C-alpha cells in the first residue's frame, strides 16, 4: 500500500488557483458548465496574442487609466489563462458562496465566448473531480497559500501540487513532507496579505526592507532570497513601492496590492494604483544603488541662500562637516557651501551671505548605479543624493565609500583567515590520502593538500572526534564545530551578491572563531 501523499499519476501536473469572482459570482457557472472563468470584461478575445507583450499592449488599450504595475500584473494572470496553464494541470476553486473548495483538471485550451455576459467570457474547460471539499480537510499552511489577492496564480509552496493531487484522489490533505515544511517566519506572508488588503491609499501599509525580509525569515538580500520574495509577492498579488531591491535596508517601503482584477477593490481608492508602481516581476535586477548606502538616507545639514555665512561656518565647525547643502524654500537642492568655496570667495571679495560663496551642487539620483559614481565621489569628495522629487535624502562622501569598502571586505578577510589557519594545521597533521576520504568522489583524484578543501570538507573531517584530537587544540570540540558550521553558512551567503552588511551577531561570530584560532596557533 502506498503511504498517504506519495507520488501518483498527478505528480507532474502543476496546480493553479482560479477564483470565482470577489463575491463568488462565477462559481455556480464554473461548476455547472465545467469551465474556469476569468473576468476582465473590458478585454475581448486574447487568443490571437502570441506573446506576453502583445497581451500587455491589449490590456493597456483596454485599461488606459491603470498603472504600469497593475497592467503588468494583469498581463501575467491572463497569460496564465491563455498559455501557461496546460491541459492536464490541476485547478483549485476556493468558493465564497459555500466555504467549500473544488478541484478539477484542465482538459481544454483557452477560448472566448462573446455571447456570454461581461465578466464571464474568458474560459478554459475543466473536469471537476471534487466540488465539496471542506476547508477543514485542508491544513492551514495550504489554505494560507490560497490566500492570494489574485484571480489566477500558481500554487507551489509547501508541496502544493503533490498535496492537491492527493486531495483530488482522497478528499483529504496529507500535509507537507519534512522538506516542504514552512521555514521560520514565512507563514506570516498570509498576515501580510491580509493587512495590505485592509489598508488604503490614505493609510498605506509600510514596512522597512529589513522588516519585509523578516516575513520570510531572512536577514539579508542575497540573490536567492530576493528571488524567493519576488516569487511570493507575485503569487500573492503584492508589490512594493519603491522596489525593495533598491532601498537601504532600514528605509520604509509601501506594500501594495496589484493582483485584483478590475472592480474587485473593496475600497474604490484602490482601483487606481499609482503610475510609478511596478509589479514585482518587473523589478530591476538587484544591484548596487547609491541609495542603498546608509549615509544616502540620513539627511544632511542645510542652510538657505540668504543665511549668513557665519551660520554656515558655525554648523560646519560644530559637526566637523566639510560641506553643507544649500536648499530652497521647498527643500530642494540649490547648491553647496564647502571650505573650498569659502576660501575662494574670501580671496576675491568680502562675503557675508551663503549665496555669495555657494558652488554648484554635485547631486545624483537615489537609484543611481553606485559604481558609476565612485570616480566622481573620490574626485569631488562628495555627492548629494536626491529622491525623485529632487529633495535631498543624504550625502555620500569619499570617507563613506572607504567605510563601505571596509565593511564589505572585513567578513571576507575574516573567513579567509579561518580557512588559512585551518589549512595550515590540517596539512601539518593529515596526509593527502586521509583528506581524500572527506571530499566528494569527483575531487579525490585532484586532491593534493588541504588547499583543495572547502569549509564543508573541513567540517566533515573534524566532525570525527579522533581527527579532531590530532589537531591537539585545547578547545571544546562541540563548541568549535558549531562555530565552524556557522562560518560555513556565513561564507556561503557572502558568495552570493548581497548589498546588505553582516549583522553584528554574524560579524562577532567570525571574529570570535578567528580569536580562537589565533589563541591556539599564534603564528601569523
Q: What is the pLDDT of residues 375-425, one digit of tens each?
A: 888 888 888 988 877 788 889 988 888 888 888 788 889 999 999 999 999
Confidence class for position 258, pLDDT limits 50, 70, 90? confident
* Residue where one domain finishes, among candidates 129, 146, 170: 170
Average pLDDT estimate for 273-279: 75
Residue 382 shares a structural domain with residue 454: no
Confidence class for position 10, pLDDT limits 50, 70, 90? very low
Residue 349 shares a structural domain with residue 310: yes
Residue 37 shares a structural domain with residue 152: yes
Confidence class for position 185, pLDDT limits 50, 70, 90? very low
- CA-to-CA separations, 93 to 43, 72, 457, 468, in angstroms, rounded: 23, 24, 49, 57
* Residue where one domain finishes, among candidates 390, 409, 425: 390
Average pLDDT estimate for 36-53: 92
Top pLDDT among 198 and 463 is at: 463
pLDDT > 80? residue 138? yes
Residue 166 shares a structural domain with residue 19: yes
Query: What was the pLDDT predicted at 12?
Result: 56
* Residue where one domain finishes, among candidates 390, 423, 439: 390
Residue 383 shares a structural domain with residue 430: no
23 located within any domain: yes
Top pLDDT among 126 and 355 is at: 126
Average pLDDT score, the chain: 84
Average pLDDT estimate for 57-78: 90
Query: What was the pLDDT predicted at 269?
Result: 45
Residue 198 shares a structural domain with residue 76: no
Query: What was the pLDDT predicted at 63?
Result: 92
Query: What was the pLDDT predicted at 184?
Result: 40
Kind of pairing between the strands at 15-18 and 333-338: unpaired
Query: What was the pLDDT predicted at 363?
Result: 86
178 located within any domain: no
Confidence class for position 201, pLDDT limits 50, 70, 90? low
Residue 379 shares a structural domain with residue 410: no
Domain holding 70, by residue range, is: 15-170
Average pLDDT estimate for 4-24: 69
How many structural domains are present in the chain?
A: 4
Average pLDDT estimate for 75-82: 93
117 located within any domain: yes
181 located within any domain: no
Residue 371 shares a structural domain with residue 419: no
Extended strands (E) in 222-342: 238-241, 252-257, 302-303, 323-327, 333-338
Average pLDDT estimate for 81-106: 92
70 located within any domain: yes
Query: What was the pLDDT predicted at 183?
Result: 47
Average pLDDT estimate for 5-33: 78
% of residues, the chain, pLDDT over 70: 92
Residue 132: CATH number of its domain: 3.10.590
1 located within any domain: no
Grouping H, G, I as helix, E, B as strand and the rest as coil, residue 123 is strand
Query: What was the pLDDT predicted at 272?
Result: 61
Query: What was the pLDDT predicted at 288?
Result: 79
Query: What was the pLDDT predicted at 6?
Result: 42
Confidence class for position 1, pLDDT limits 50, 70, 90? very low
Total-model pTM: 0.60
Query: What was the pLDDT predicted at 164?
Result: 93
Residue 312: CATH number of its domain: 3.10.580.10
Q: What is the pLDDT of residues 96-119, one digit of tens each?
A: 888 899 999 999 999 999 999 988
Residue 78 shares a structural domain with residue 166: yes
Q: What are phi and psi of 408, to 5 degrees?
A: -75, -40
Query: What was the pLDDT predicted at 26?
Result: 92
Query: What was the pLDDT predicted at 145?
Result: 80
DSSP of 448-466 = -SGGG--HHHHHHHHHSHH
Query: What was the pLDDT predicted at 58?
Result: 94
Query: What was the pLDDT predicted at 474?
Result: 93
**166-172 long-range contacts, Cβ below 8 Å, gap at least 24?**
166/4, 166/5, 166/8, 167/103, 167/130, 167/133, 167/137, 167/138, 168/10, 168/90, 168/103, 168/105, 168/129, 168/130, 169/8, 169/10, 170/4, 171/130, 171/133, 171/137, 172/137
Residue 350 shares a structural domain with residue 437: no
Residue 269 shares a structural domain with residue 346: no
107 located within any domain: yes
50 located within any domain: yes
Residue 298 shares a structural domain with residue 276: no
Amino acid at each position: 500500500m502506498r503511504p498517504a501523499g506519495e507520488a501518483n499519476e498527478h505528480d507532474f501536473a502543476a496546480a493553479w488557483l482560479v477564483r470565482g469572482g470577489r463575491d463568488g459570482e462565477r462559481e455556480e457557472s464554473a461548476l455547472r458548465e465545467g469551465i474556469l472563468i476569468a473576468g476582465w470584461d473590458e478585454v475581448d478575445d486574447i487568443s490571437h496574442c502570441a506573446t506576453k507583450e502583445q497581451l500587455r499592449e491589449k490590456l493597456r488599450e483596454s485599461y488606459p487609466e491603470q498603472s504600469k504595475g497593475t497592467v503588468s500584473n494583469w498581463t501575467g494572470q491572463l497569460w496564465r489563462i491563455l498559455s501557461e496553464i496546460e491541459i492536464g494541470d490541476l485547478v483549485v476553486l476556493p468558493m465564497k458562496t459555500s466555504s467549500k473548495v473544488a478541484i478539477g483538471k484542465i482538459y481544454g485550451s483557452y477560448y472566448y465566448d462573446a455571447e456570454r455576459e461581461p465578466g464571464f467570457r474568458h474560459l478554459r474547460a475543466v473536469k471537476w473531480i471534487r466540488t465539496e471539499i471542506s476547508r477543514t480537510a485542508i491544513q492551514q499552511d495550504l489554505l494560507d497559500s490560497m490566500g492570494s489577492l489574485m484571480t489566477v496564480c500558481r500554487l507551489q509552496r509547501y508541496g502544493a501540487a503533490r498535496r492537491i493531487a492527493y486531495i483530488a484522489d482522497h478528499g483529504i490533505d496529507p500535509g507537507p513532507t519534512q522538506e516542504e515544511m514552512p521555514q521560520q517566519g514565512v507563514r506570516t506572508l498570509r498576515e501580510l496579505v491580509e493587512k495590505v488588503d485592509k489598508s488604503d491609499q490614505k493609510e498605506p501599509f509600510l514596512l522597512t526592507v529589513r522588516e519585509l525580509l523578516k516575513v520570510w525569515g531572512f536577514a539579508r538580500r542575497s540573490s536567492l532570497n530576493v528571488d524567493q520574495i519576488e516569487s511570493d509577492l507575485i503569487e500573492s498579488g503584492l508589490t512594493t513601492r519603491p522596489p525593495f531591491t533598491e532601498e537601504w535596508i532600514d528605509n520604509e517601503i509601501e506594500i501594495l496590492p496589484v493582483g485584483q482584477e478590475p472592480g474587485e477593490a473593496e475600497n474604490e481608492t484602490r482601483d487606481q494604483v499609482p503610475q510609478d508602481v511596478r509589479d514585482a516581476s518587473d523589478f530591476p535586477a538587484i544591484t548596487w544603488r547609491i541609495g542603498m548606502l546608509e549615509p544616502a538616507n540620513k539627511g544632511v545639514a542645510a542652510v538657505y541662500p540668504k543665511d549668513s555665512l557665519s551660520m554656515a561656518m558655525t554648523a560646519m565647525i560644530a559637526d566637523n562637516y566639510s560641506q553643507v547643502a544649500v536648499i530652497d524654500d521647498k527643500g530642494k537642492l540649490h547648491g553647496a557651501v564647502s571650505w573650498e568655496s569659502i576660501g575662494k570667495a574670501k580671496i576675491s571679495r568680502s562675503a557675508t551671505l551663503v549665496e555669495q560663496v555657494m558652488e554648484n551642487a554635485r547631486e545624483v539620483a537615489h537609484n543611481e548605479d553606485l559604481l558609476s559614481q565612485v570616480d566622481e565621489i573620490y574626485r569631488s569628495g562628495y555627492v548629494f543624493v536626491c529622491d525623485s522629487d529632487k529633495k535631498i535624502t543624504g550625502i555620500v562622501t569619499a570617507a563613506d565609500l572607504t567605510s563601505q569598502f571596509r565593511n564589505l571586505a572585513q567578513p571576507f578577510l575574516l573567513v579567509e583567515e579561518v580557512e588559512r589557519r585551518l589549512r595550515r594545521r590540517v596539512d601539518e597533521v593529515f596526509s593527502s590520502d586521509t583528506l581524500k576520504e572527506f571530499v566528494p568522489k569527483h575531487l579525490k583524484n585532484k586532491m593534493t593538500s588541504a588547499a583543495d578543501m572547502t569549509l564543508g570538507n573541513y567540517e566533515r573531517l573534524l566532525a570525527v572526534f579522533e581527527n579532531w584530537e590530532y589537531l591537539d587544540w585545547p578547545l571544546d570540540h562541540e563548541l568549535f564545530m558549531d562555530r565552524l558550521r556557522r562560518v560555513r553558512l556565513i561564507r556561503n551567503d557572502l558568495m552570493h551578491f548581497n548589498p546588505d552588511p553582516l549583522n553584528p551577531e554574524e560579524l562577532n561570530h567570525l571574529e570570535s572563531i578567528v580569536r580562537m584560532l589565533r589563541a591556539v596557533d599564534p603564528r601569523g
